[in-house]
Amino acid sequence: MTQSKVWAAILLMMTSLFMSSLQARSLPEFTELVSDNSAAVINISTTKNNKSRLSSLAPNMELPEGTPLDEMFKHFFGPNFRGNPPQEESHSLGSGFVLSSDGYILTNHHVIKDADEIIVRFNDRTELEAKVLGSDERSDIALLKVEATGLTPVKVGDSTKLQVGEWVLAIGSPFGFDSSATAGIVSALGRNLPSDNYVPFIQTDVAINPGNSGGPLFNMDGEVIGINSQIYSRTGGFMGVSFAIPMDVALDVVSQIKEQGYVDRGWLGVVIQNVTRELAESFGLDKPQGALVSRVMPDSPAAKAGLETGDVILKFDGKDVKTSSSLPPLVGRTKVGETVPVLVMRDKKKTTLHVKIEKLEEDVDDVVKTKSSRLVDERLAVEIADLTPQQREQYNMEEGGVLVINLEQGPARKAGIRRGDVIISVNNTKIKNSKQFLDIADDLPEDEAIPVLVQRQQGAIFLALKIVKKN
């Protein structure tokens, strides 16, 4: 080997070592973060007393001595048993963290739900009994209080400044192992889960397991920016996808609990769905975006403001509505009584309405069922019928609409229309009866996406219908 080649090999090796060293130094260092915050992270254990089946059958049972049942009860409940059978206890574990030095503690609602006793344990092994000041199931946030002073609180960060790809760290008690630290990155922001419409979750790949719930999620500045709440799993254990409640959501809940003892949420009064590519075309949008209104609740804030079925909500209070799941958190966090602008696309034109938000009282479930005389539209390959009075009652529809009896291969089936659907409108025209439906279907344009509103068991939904021109 020539001298030049030797020097080239040495240079290559040194470059490789330098790059490896540089890469190692660029990886995050968590030791100081864990050391500074371990005292603020707590283990939460709860106890719930459940009456045994026997005690529920005889709640006030007093047994005299010398009965034939003596031996049987002593066999099952011990030699000293003289009264009701003992209560069965169930226990659960979770995590939490100190919010202030005077004893306010934050955790998940599901960690302390229905608990008769809550014990918090600090990393110095101190144990204190905690009381629930308030708990909100919709956001899965609970505020606890212990009688103590001089506690070490966490630093609270701004979760709205989080970016995908940031390093984050969780500290908690998975499976009861106190003060366990796991790290990862922010995988996505603003995730909405089917069971939690009012929380725009932070998605991470931080290892979260049973017992981590309620624990803090830190950024690299040592600030809490989320509360670990849920995992996606097919096995019950961590599979690389976990979800945390943003601290801005949590602090809003905490503020309301401290002020009034409960949480108010805004209510708009619409049933919404996502906008597909085909529906975007039919509503005059350049891309799929917004929340498509498939139903407006009677006497709701939306109805009073003039929102209509078929409107696509693009902005709410100046904030973009990228998908239908983006809207509920925005509405829910709007103060009751506040009037906000809502930008909608209607008849392929943008218009701004002003809605006065009211209080969300309860969820509204739209449940409908199906069945029933017949007309066939060969162009759409669909068989339809007028609704009977009984069916109108089942579908909660006072007037209009036609019931889909059967489908063949054709435009209607391709659009996603199903047997049992009630077609409410076609191309933004309300359907009054079967004959009118046939007339409208005959006049529909070809090679153009047409919005069709149908009512089904899960509620009203828009579909995009396209009749392909035959050559």
CA distance 204 to 175: 20
For residue 447 the two structure tokens come to: 């090679």
Could you write out the DSSP letters of every residue in 231-298? E--SSSS--S-EEEEEHHHHHHHHHHHHHHSS---EE--EEEEEPPHHHHHHTT-SSS-SEEEEEE-T
Question: By CB neighbour count within 10 A (0-12 exposed, 13-18 middle, 19+ buried), where does 438 fall?
Answer: middle
Q: Which residues are catalytic?
A: 110, 140, 213
Could you write out the DSSP letters of every residue in 118-136? EEEE-TTS-EEE-EEEEEE
Rg of the chain over Cα atoms, rounded to whole angstroms, equals: 30
Residue 271 bridge partners (DSSP):
295
For residue 85 the two structure tokens come to: 């059978």
Could you write out the DSSP letters of every residue in 135-168? EETTTTEEEEE-S-SS--PPEE--GGG--TT-EE
- CA pseudo-torsion sign 320, 326, 329, 335: positive
